[in-house]
A and B are shown apart, each in its own frame.
Chain A
């Protein structure tokens, strides 16, 4: 191979290579709205909440049939079933025995909707309709004294719920600075 030819070949090769890096690989297919319709994730401001609504009294029925066996008639938890207490514990977070529940600890109502819709009931995940999830969310929050017994939750009222421990969290990212003074 002459030097010129070799040089041209190398140039072509390197152009080819850099082109490949600048372009996409054209792997994967576009995801349509229909593809995405089966997924959800709900933000504290309510983004992602589905249409529908539920009352505390409708939630009492859902809770009794679908949750009470594992979380208890009084939402007190059933240790043998692995179901945590969902209410109680206010004022305990700085004590020697903090009780972390939806009522005492959770900063956002959206998290309750999101979690119950995706993962509860534990033995039949993903089986509740949006209305049932609004209702049982309302029931749990009412039993925790967070919303009134006559409340109705929907996509506009749920994000407005002020959780008792809403101000109890801060961003813990970054280095654990005091550790560098730990010896003192």
Chain B
């Protein structure tokens, strides 16, 4: 079970520790810290509230990880009848033995802060909706879809408002895409800082999104000749706004209402969010209520004060919207422990905001030599792929790296290359090669190689 709580995010790098004999470590390779008893009881109480009443099967006295319900484990499941169907009230929960949760950044207020996806535990290419990373600037609003509208106006033929039901009546598309916050990995510019891959790279998640293409909406309202930009606005307390090039919206922008086969999660923008494949996460406006077509950008706070890249000369780049090619090894990764020398399967995730992933290479000698990795799933545009690469660890210290090349020929840079180009003040868009050091004792840590 992973530790949660505000102190996790920016703790100094923990020295690798031996595997705790007591703990049922995942795959026998990962040290784990327990949730506090009190925290467990609290989360159990809130999880159980609804389901226990409906099902009557759970025992409130027992604890279960968030998103699960505790059931007593029989000695031999073949000698006892199991639960009747719909004991879960009609909406399934995960197993009580699955414990991964999002962790949060250590910020003064949880109303404007972020959570990290537990990437090391992710199985397959899609992030479970309940583990999708978050970034909110004014908390998570509760929105009744029956009262929510999307207004499209400005340089259009006819300004129109669309109910959620209206949008669901329109032709839809279903596409898999990642969303990555451009602040992902920002702690790693100057020195290795975050203690594990959840914190270094966990502002990245992948979902199957369903919604209406902006181009479909555009035909309903008509666009005026000089239109070039569109302001997207959310219905949260931050009334979040970003200006988006019209060209991008017309090429693949989507108003999404579905995520992984069901409605968007509230923290992902229920009932509507903007989806701009490959663009920095902040532009994928959640709780989307308005699109204002214009001939110029609005220069909102999020595209001037924030999300601009300060260069060494003191000037800053506006509208660096596209996410670069990037990859990270999720196993083995920092804070893990390899029990003994032998054959391991290096595993990781690669992605690019510029198109499909073309290839991924893995190095076990700090980038001196590279081997091609196997790509586990079909590469799709602006979508993650899973990769793996067998590795016979001889018990000597090793430095693991992965490198992504996308279909445009863009090669994921080293940290030195990136720092030479951008200096150390640009904060956003850090997509350098990540290094994990495996020590002779099997402990894995975050390093700059």
Contacts and interface: CB of A to CB of B under 8 A. Distances in A.
The prevalent SS among residues of A at the interface is loop
Contacts of B237: 119, 125
B238 A170 contact: no
A47 B112 CA distance: 29
A81 B320 contact: no
A44 interface: yes
A152 B213 CA distance: 45
Given A168-B316, A171-B319, A179-B421, A36 B301 contact: no
Nearest to A177: B421
A27 B255 CA distance: 15
Query: Which size bracket describes the interface of A in this complex?
Result: 35 or more
Given A111-B299, A169-B315, A173-B320, A39 B160 contact: no
Given A119-B239, A183-B417, A41 B170 contact: no
A182 B431 CA distance: 14
A28 interface: yes
Given A39-B233, A182-B413, A94 B312 contact: yes
Contact of B304 (A93, A108, A172): A108
Contact of B299 (A43, A98, A125): A43
B26 interface: no
A96 B314 CA distance: 10
Closest 4 CB pairs of A and B: A172-B317, A94-B314, A182-B417, A93-B314
Interface of A: 24-25, 27-31, 35-36, 39, 41-44, 79-82, 93-94, 96, 98, 100, 102, 105-108, 110-111, 114-115, 118-119, 122, 125-126, 168-173, 175-176, 178-179, 182-183
14 contacts: A27-B162, A28-B163, A31-B160, A35-B161, A41-B292, A43-B294, A82-B108, A82-B109, A105-B304, A114-B241, A118-B241, A171-B318, A179-B410, A182-B418
Given A96-B425, A119-B237, 19 more contacts: A25-B171, A25-B216, A27-B169, A30-B159, A31-B153, A35-B161, A39-B151, A42-B298, A105-B305, A110-B299, A114-B241, A114-B298, A118-B238, A125-B138, A169-B308, A170-B315, A171-B317, A172-B319, A173-B320
